[in-house]
């Protein structure tokens, strides 16, 4: 298996200035998995497997939709109860979601169990989870190339020791600029980023900066890219997860130590992927994204960079 992704599977209800949607398929594993599978097809890779939990209210049509994309769902457990639900809204510059309701449901008792056939992937991505659960995933998996981890401000506030412990165990960390500053306790973004690298010893730190793009610290090198300029911002939910899922497939396409050129190519594709994610409510845009349209936007973005 090329990519194993462990994270949340949810039903999201979202409101933005462009409208609203109720009980849309979402969660970090879903957005990341769909993006990863899209690029696995582009790059002629093997399978992308999801590990997570759903309730017995999870719709058969949603399961079929994911299977039709080619995702391996054998690592998804069905537990008695309801699937994780999140309700939020976006306002103003749409940069940060306001959470109105979170119902963990079966996700609150989730204990990740990686199937035996998925314990040696090329890339392991621990999406946003309680840090102690991310550690349990790492205990079960021996990746053949690299491990990736995402997190959020909640764990920085409530589980900092556990978070730092698991960050020290992975090769690549993906967080946003606000989280970097929180961890380092430093308002200077560049200085804070370098402190996080020192604190964790990670080989690569990827810092998402929203409308300001992304910057990555890779050994002694820095890669900095702007965001793709888009006017159509409907629902930013899942952009960071689709960004990370894209990176996972790009890195599964190589071997040995991650090179600067691989990192840059992955970040370019991830930036373009996330620009599609926010153009619809939920996963609709990602699921129905034509390969040709992606390639056209990728070429357009590369021209901007040049």
pLDDT surpassing 90 at residue 216: yes
Q: Which domain holds residue 10?
A: 3-305
* Average pLDDT of the residues in 68-85: 97
Identify the pLDDT of residue 211: 86
Place of tokens 């298996």: 1
How do residues 78-118 score in pLDDT, each as one tens digit?
999 999 999 999 988 787 889 999 999 999 999 999 999 99
CA 63 to chain centre: 20
C-alpha distance from residue 12 to each of 31, 47, 82 (Å): 12, 26, 13
CATH code for the domain of 283: 3.40.1190.20
How do residues 85-96 score in pLDDT, each as one tens digit?
999 999 887 878
Residue 304 pLDDT grade (very low, low, confident, very high; cuts 50, 70, 90): very high
Percent of the chain past pLDDT 70, that is, above it, reads 100
**pTM of the predicted model as reported, rounded to 2 decimal places:** 0.95
| Number of separate domains in the chain | 1
- CA 28, CA 273: separation in Å to the nearest integer? 15
Q: Give the containing element (helix H, strand E) for 61.
A: helix 60-69
* 3-class SS of residue 195: helix
How do residues 259-300 score in pLDDT, each as one tens digit?
999 999 999 999 999 999 999 999 999 999 999 999 999 999
* Spatial CB neighbours of 113, under 8 Å, sequence gap ≥ 6: 51, 75, 77, 140
């Amino acid at each position: 298996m090329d990519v194993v992704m462990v994270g949340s599977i949810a039903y999201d209800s979202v409101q933005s200035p462009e409208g609203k949607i109720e009980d849309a398929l979402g969660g970090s594993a879903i957005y990341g998995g769909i993006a990863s599978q899209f690029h696995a097809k582009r790059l002629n890779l093997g399978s992308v497997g999801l590990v997570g939990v759903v309730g017995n209210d999870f719709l058969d049509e949603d399961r079929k939709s994911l299977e039709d994309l080619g995702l391996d769902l054998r690592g998804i457990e069905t537990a008695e109860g309801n699937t994780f639900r999140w309700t939020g809204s976006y306002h103003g510059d749409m940069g940060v979601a306001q959470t109105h309701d979170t119902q963990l449901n079966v996700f609150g008792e989730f204990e990740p169990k990686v199937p035996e056939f998925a314990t040696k992937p090329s890339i392991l991505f621990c999406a946003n989870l309680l840090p102690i659960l991310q550690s349990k995933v790492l205990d079960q998996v021996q990746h053949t190339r690299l491990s990736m981890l995402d997190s959020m401000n909640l764990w920085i506030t409530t589980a900092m020791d556990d978070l730092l412990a698991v960050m020290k165990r992975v090769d690549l960390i993906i967080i946003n600029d606000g989280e970097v500053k929180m961890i380092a306790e430093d308002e200077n973004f560049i200085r804070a980023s370098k402190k996080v690298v020192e604190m964790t010893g990670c080989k690569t730190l990827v810092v998402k900066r929203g409308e300001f793009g992304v910057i990555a610290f890779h050994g002694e090198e820095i890669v900095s890219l702007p965001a793709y300029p888009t006017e159509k911002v409907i629902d930013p939910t899942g952009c960071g997860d689709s960004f990370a899922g894209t990176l996972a497939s790009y890195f599964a396409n190589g071997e040995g130590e991650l090179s600067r050129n691989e990192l840059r190519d992955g970040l370019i594709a991830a930036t373009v992927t996330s620009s599609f994610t926010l153009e619809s409510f939920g996963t609709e845009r990602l699921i129905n994204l034509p390969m040709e349209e992606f390639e056209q936007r990728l070429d357009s973005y590369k021209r901007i960079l040049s």
